[in-house]
Each structure stands twice: as C-alpha cells, then as structure tokens.
Amino acid sequence: MTRNRLIGSMPAIGIRPTIDGRRGGIRESLEDVTMEMARKVAAFLEQNLRHANGEPVRCVVADSCIGGVAEAAQAAEKFARAGVGLSITVTPSWCYPLETIDTDPCIPKAILGFNGTERPGAVYLAAALSAHNQKGLPAFSIYGKDVQDIGDTSLAPDVQAKLLQFAKAGLAVATMKGKSYLSIGSVSMGIAGCIADEGFFQKYLGMRNEYVDMTEIVRRMDRGIYDQEEFEKALKWVKENCKEGADVNPPQLKRTREQKDRDWETVVKMTLIARDLMAGNPKLAELGFGEESLGHNAIAAGFQGQRMWTDHYPNGDFMEAILTSSFDWNGIREAYMMSTENDTLNAATMLIGHLLTDRAQIFADVRTYWSPDAVKRVTGKELTGIAAGGVIHLTNSGPASLDATGQQTENGQPAMKPFWDITEEEVKRCLEATQWCPAVDFFRGGGFSTDFTTRAGMPVTMARINLIDGVGPVLQLAEGYTVELPEDVHDILDQRTNPTWPTTWFVPNLTGTGAFRSVYSVMNNWGSNHCAVSYGHVGHLLITLASMLRIPVSMHNVAEERIFRPSAWSGFGEMEHVGADYRACSSFGPLYG
C-alpha cells in the first residue's frame, strides 16, 4: 500500500546546474555538459531513492543553467512551486559564487564540484562553500577523489555515496516540516521525555504539536466513531493471527475468558481510533463525523497510557505494536511512528530513523547491562562470541514493531525490510514468532503485551535524542548487532525482568575509547531510559541529518571516514570533531530558529 497518507505532497530534490555566465564562447561551451551533469544526478537519485511511504523520489532540474542572480531567482521560484525541500548545485566549471548559490536558509544544500582539470569546478566548489559559510548558510561539499575528463558526466562511487547520504537526510528534514506530533495524553509516570517541548519540535524539526486527552479514545469507542466494518475485519484477523501466550498473573488477578475477549475488542478499537487521530479517515465523514475524519496530520504520535489509562482500561501495547509494524489486517503498509508512554523524544528519534531507513523501528527500554560475571553467577553459563563482553537487554511492554522479530530476510539473513519488499510469507512468520500475553498485574485494566525474541545477526543502530538544559537537543547513537543467548540462559534472564515482553539482546561495536570502551560504558553513558533501534548501521545517516538540524552528537561509534557534515564544521575545530560539532550547532542555531 504505497501512498502518502498525510497532507502535503512529498518533497522534491532541486538540482541547480551552475555555469560561468560569460557569453561569447565560455558559457556556450559549457551549457550541454553542465545540464547533462544535472540530469545524470537527477536520474541517479530517482533510480536509487524512495520516500519512506514508498513513493518514488522526484527531482526538479532548473529550466536553464544558472550563470547569475536572475537565473538563480528563476530556479528558486520554480523550486518553490514544485515543493523542493533540498537542493544540490552541480557544476564542472568556475561560476560566480555569490550570484549563483542557493540562499534559502531553511533547506539543506550541497554542492557537487566536478574534479577535472580542463575547467576549475573544484575552484568554484571551494569559493561557493566559502561564500555559504561566510553568509551563515551551511552547505555540504561533494567532490570526487579522482580526476575526470571534461564531458565525463559519470558519477564516481564516492560521489554517489555522498549524494545518497545527503539526499536521504535532506529528504527526512523536508518530510518532517509542517507535519504534527500528536500527544494522546500527557506525561507518563513522571518521564521527562514525555514533555512535549514545543521549541524543540518547532525550531529544530519544523513541526507543530497537537494534543488530545485520552478520553477522546473513550468518546469515540462509546459513540461508535470508528469504521465498524473495518473493526469486524480487524477482530477476525486478530483471532486468526494473534495467538495468546502464557498468563503469568497470580490466580486472583487472572482475567476471565469473557474479560479477555472484551479486552481484544477494546484494543482493536483503540488501534483504529489512534490511527484515525493521526492521519484521519474519510470513512468517518461518510458516517457523519466530518471533524473527526480529518485527523491531526501527525507524522508521529505518542500514547501516555500509564497510569491514568491502564489502571482502568486495557493497555496500549497491542495498539502500539501493530501501528509501528509494517502490516495489519489491511495488508502490508508503511509503519506508523507511535511512541509508548508518550515519550516525545523517543518518538522523534523513531521518526528520523524511519525516514532514513524506510523501515519499521524498535522502541525499547534500555533495561539492563548483563556482564559476563553476572550472567555466569545467575545462570552458571558463560557468554560467548560477540556477546562475550556482556549484553544490553532492550525490552518494553509493547511498541517494538513485529518486524523486530527478525523473521524477514535480506540476502538470506534476518532483517527488517522496507514494507514494499516484505512478502506475505514474512508477515506470517513475524506473527507466528509473536505471542500476545495477558498483561501483568500492574496493568490493572488488562490488555495484552507482545512476547518475542529478536533473531541474532541483525546490524542495528540504537539512538536517542535528549534535551539538555543550556545545550538543547543532543543525539547519541550506538551501532552494533542483535544476538541470541542460549535458550536456558535467555529464560533465566528474561524471567528476572518480565517474560511477557519482547526482548532484543544488543551488543554495541566497541572502539576501545570513550563511551565505547566496553558494553558497560555504553549502557552507563546512555542518556535516558528509552531508545529507538533502526535496522542497519545507519549512524552516518543520523549524524548527517543531525548536522542539518543543528543537533550535536554527544556519543557515537561511527568511523571518521563515514561522517559527512557541512564544510563549515571544519572551521569550528577540525582537530577535535565532537567539540567542533557542538560549537557549529550552537553558532548556526536550530534550522528553523
């Protein structure tokens, strides 16, 4: 189901062919090669990128080469009409920088300067970057390592990699702009991340905040403000595909079969209603609920749940897990970004991870570091392989997507895939690998929690945005791998936490320095009780995106050669990259600030 379910067309990439404007032989000799260079970049990006909703990425090439300010203005006007959200300037030659650069302060921008000797494209690149930096308009530098001949419009592998890295991050920035974060409820259990910091969402992400009380779900359930036909379809699908797991509650707290059946009906209705609150539903207008049919244009949302809701109603685990998965009773589709406990900052982290990878995300507690000694003490067994230095137990009651079972495959290995690559057989395997356990006793209103264990061998990136007083938002991330523990070891460790919840055993890649000296130091330096986990080693994409938004990165284990930031960052201290990142982000300020 490839579609844009939110209001507003998907952002396009603007391609700006710039040229030496001197006529009488110079410009004329460069027109064809410059425009062909632009077309090659556009074709490459359109062939290799999709939006997270599955739509193809669209590139818009300026109508003419840009040799001066008039043509720059013409391109800007065309881009504004076409919904361009990021720009790439390309040239094989010298041009007049101040007259040809993109001066829109709110869109990410890059310059591809051709590495050739016949015409000084690299000279323009350097001069244009200098102009951008002097004017406070950070731009990314794309410059191939190897010299090419004039007229050779092929894109070298290193140029391709930087184009994709810049474009994917830039599209994420542009996609968030103008969308909403929807808080369903307020602060859960005193967790500071639940506070919807409007300054952060508005100034850094370009988003607005929307709020509804959890009683809106009650109102819609009681008054039938949901698609009854879809409810019947969904409930039938649940009965056929969602198998119940063990009820670990003491006898006096076990719910009857009748209560559990009512719980299933309630949690399915909650799922329909939360989705409608986020993205709207035209079916509601047909039923006479025009206002409710519109939704909140929410690209991400959070549900408070605990404790005001869960002390009386079934918990939100089913709703969160199904919405964040890449499939439901309507088939395979883009995952929704729904945060448990209305952790707004984790929702924002899940959102950027989703937009960068096109895949569902894992929401989890960063629950426990299990050292080798502790594991041996409680199980009598030794950890081996990449888990030999200890593991981090990532778990939470519900909102890990069912994709996180690892039952999808890429190249024969466990994976979490873009929804358009997922097969019906893989959906079936994800459902079969999941049990829905009656909620434990502190969810007094009942409900069901997902229980599965993530398969080993998936490259993943754990990330989190935190707000620091006096600094603002900071991003931390850790690339690593999922592992599986021997069944008897897993069972003992899992029982000590909550056996009805999903488990992802995570081992970060260690560098031997800083926060990545050991698995323990990664856990000890984590800035919150929650994290978002993306499939793949995508720390470089997160770092590029963070620099566009002016969010410094406080902790990462990404190799230096994979890091791609605007050229201005080197001017803040090339010899000390972490400090330079903080200084640059502070100096330029939030993208929309």
Q: Which residues are annotated as a binding site?
A: 341, 365, 530
Question: How far, in Å, CA of 356 to CA of 55, rounded?
Answer: 14
Cβ proximity of 277 and 295 under 8 Å: yes
**Would you say the C-alpha torsion 112, 118, 119, 122 has a positive or negative sign?**
positive
- Which H or E run includes 357? helix 344-357
Q: Which helix (H) or strand (E) holds 159?
A: helix 157-176
First to last CA, the chain: 36
Listed in sequence order, the residues at least 6 apart from 487 whose beta carbon sits closer than 8 Å to its beta carbon are none
What six digits make up the tokens of 209? 């905040």
Q: Which residues of 155-184 are buried (b: 16+ CB within 10 A; e: fewer)?
A: beeebbebbebbbbbbbbbbbbbebbbbbb
The position carrying tokens 């873009």 is: 418
In the set 102, 317, 365, 479, the catalytic residue is 365
How many other C-beta atoms can be found within 10 angstroms of the C-beta atom of residue 359?
Answer: 25
Angle (CA) 392-172-165 rounded to 5° is: 80
Q: Give the tokens for residue 566.
A: 């605007």
CA of residue 35 relative to chain centroid, distance: 34
- What string of DSSP letters covers 236-260? HHHHHH--B----S-GGGPPPHHHH
Q: For residues 416 and 401, what is the distance between their CA atoms, to the nearest angstrom?
A: 10
Q: Both tokens of residue 487?
A: 């069944």
Q: What is the dihedral of CA 282, 285, 286, 287, to 10 degrees?
A: 120
The identity of residue 407, as a single letter, is Q
Binding residues for Mn(2+): 341, 365, 530
Q: Is 341 a catalytic residue?
A: yes
- d(Cα 154, Cα 144) in Å, to the nearest integer? 11
Q: Which of 263, 341, 403, 451 is catalytic?
A: 341
Identity of the residue numbered 451:
D
Taking a C-beta distance cutoff of 8 angstroms, is the pair 255, 446 a contact? Answer: yes
Residue 574 annotated as catalytic: no
Q: Which two tokens stand for residue 412?
A: 């024969």
Query: What CA–CA distance (Å, rounded) separates 217 from 222?
Result: 9
Give the residue numbers annotated as catalytic, written as ranges.
341, 365
